[in-house]
Amino acid sequence: MKRFIVALLLMFTLQTAWAIDLDSAKDQGLVGEANTGYLAAVNGSPSADVAALIADVNRKRKAQFEDAARKTDATLEQVRLRFYQLAVERTQPGHWYQDSQGNWRKK
């Protein structure tokens, strides 16, 4: 039983080590800044790791957008649009973003 628990812990540790981070996903062209203010997969359906990353980042962004809207008396749409504009400005060369029509562009 002890070996099983150790093996399980090792598996979770290794799984976490293999999980992709945001910078790596952007560097590899897997994700980009969507014109909604959220992160999105650039091409087709993402791997499980990338989908989990997108969901985590977007959950955090949504909470930040809601907080900013509440604090500034802006609408959620206004906050998301402004974040998108800033995100595009800060997008590094070689990374992807959507233009206002939803087309993916490489900066």
Residue 13, CB-side half-sphere exposure with 13 Å CA sphere: 6
Kindly report the backbone phi and psi dihedral angles of residue 105, in degrees, each rounded to the nearest multiple of 5, phi listed first: -125, 140
pTM: 0.79
The residue-averaged pLDDT of 64-70 equals 95
User: Mind giving me the DSSP string for 9-74?
Assistant: HHHHHHHHHHSPPHHHHHHTTSEEE-TTSSEEESSSSPPHHHHHHHHHHHHHHHHHHHHHHHHHT-
The pair of structure tokens assigned to 6 is 């150790």
Mean pLDDT of the chain: 86
The CA distance from 12 to 6, in Å, is 10
Spacing of C-alpha 102 from chain mean position: 17
Higher pLDDT, residue 44 or 77? 77
pLDDT score of 19: 66
Question: Where do the domains of the chain lie?
Answer: 2-106
The residue-averaged pLDDT of 23-33 equals 97
The residue-averaged pLDDT of 19-46 equals 94
The CA distance from 60 to 42, in Å, is 20
